[in-house]
Amino acid sequence: MIRASSVLMNRKIGMKRRVIVITAVLTMTGLSPAWAQHAMPGMNHDTMSGMSMKPDMGHESMPPPIRDPHAYSDGYDFGPIPRPRFADEHKFASLLVDRLEGVRTSDNTAMAYDLQAWYGRDYDRVVLKAEGDVDGGKLQEARSELLWGRAITTYWDTQLGVRYDSGVDPGRSWLAFGVQGLAPYWFEVEAVGYMSDTGHSALRLDVTYDLLFTQRLILQPRLGANFYGKRDAARSLGSGLSDLAAGIRLRYEIRREFAPYIGVAWAGKYGGTADYARSAGLDVRKTQVVAGVRFWF
């Protein structure tokens, strides 16, 4: 973890506090391998940058010779004809609606959504994230984020931007900084820290995994958590771990882009947030059956 945080600070991101928070939480969740590379004999993998390179196989005395890829040009540039433009210079766009589901409650069916869209090139993108619940035709709780995503390592992007919370509680605006990527063993991880206009801090974690029963029948466990730096009475949130959401969804990819699913979602409130809920006469634990579709294009 020392390596992870030092790399981030070396990148002059300058959000030391949040980095430390993220680092700490990553450590808590046992995700450190995402940052550290596994030095495989004969192969380097997902090294953060050249500086963390270590010669393998005990060749400590012989640092790997590093080539300059532009040395072969001898100063020559492209000719007078405009050079080809390949897809590395094109922009692409994608929308993934990961969850669009009905949640059966005692008296009605609520809806939940969770989507992520991006537009841009391979290593720099505009990222839009939105998640929320609608119940009784009313937006209960919603989080929307607009971020600049930048690829920093093989499997990880940093994300920097803004978040706006809306719903029945008073709105909140946040600055956001975090990481999203693929951890070893194929865990999709999102870890984002936030600082609000009212001086609150928050951290959100989301981890999913795809377990292939067949090429099309896929079980997706999911774990999400929210942490807050201090109490926010206006929004009935306590400090520390506020809520956990775990789910397991079984989808069938009719096409890769379109998969209906069924699942079970479990949610719990903790600490001060649970106290607020109890005093308002709300459940602090609930288990619900969900059904929906996952689609992307």
The contact set with another protein (CB under 8 A) reads 33, 38, 40-47, 49-50, 53, 55-57, 59, 62, 64-70, 72-79, 81-89, 92, 94, 96, 122-123, 151-156, 182, 184-186, 211-215, 256, 296
Q: What residues contact 226, with CB distance under 8 A and at least 6 apart? A: 202, 203, 204, 205, 241, 242, 243
Q: 225 with 205: CB under 8 angstroms?
A: yes
Q: Which is closer to another protein, CB of 6 or CB of 239?
A: 6
Q: Which is closer to another protein, CB of 26 or CB of 241?
A: 26
We find the least distance from the C-beta atom of residue 55 to another protein, in angstroms, to be: 7
Q: Is 150 left (phi over 0), alpha (psi -120 to 50) or beta?
A: beta
Q: Which is closer to another protein, CB of 17 or CB of 216?
A: 216
Q: Which is closer to another protein, CB of 29 or CB of 153?
A: 153
Q: 52 with 38: CB under 8 angstroms?
A: no
* Number of C-beta neighbours around residue 273 at 10 A: 24
Q: Which amino acid is at 254?
A: I
Helices 2-10, 16-28: inter-axial angle, 10-degree rounding: 150
We find the least distance from the C-beta atom of residue 82 to another protein, in angstroms, to be: 6
Q: Which is closer to another protein, CB of 222 or CB of 235?
A: 222
Closest CA to 110 of 137, 135, 128, 147: 135
Q: How far apart are CA 244 and CA 227, in angstroms?
A: 9
Q: 97 with 74: CB under 8 angstroms?
A: no
We find the least distance from the C-beta atom of residue 46 to another protein, in angstroms, to be: 7
We find the least distance from the C-beta atom of residue 112 to another protein, in angstroms, to be: 23
Q: Which is closer to another protein, CB of 2 or CB of 57?
A: 57
We find the least distance from the C-beta atom of residue 281 to another protein, in angstroms, to be: 43
Q: Which amino acid is at 170?
A: P
Closest CA to 52 of 7, 5, 1: 7
Q: How far apart are CA 176 and CA 188, in angstroms?
A: 19
Q: Which is closer to another protein, CB of 54 or CB of 278?
A: 54
We find the least distance from the C-beta atom of residue 17 to another protein, in angstroms, to be: 25
We find the least distance from the C-beta atom of residue 36 to another protein, in angstroms, to be: 12
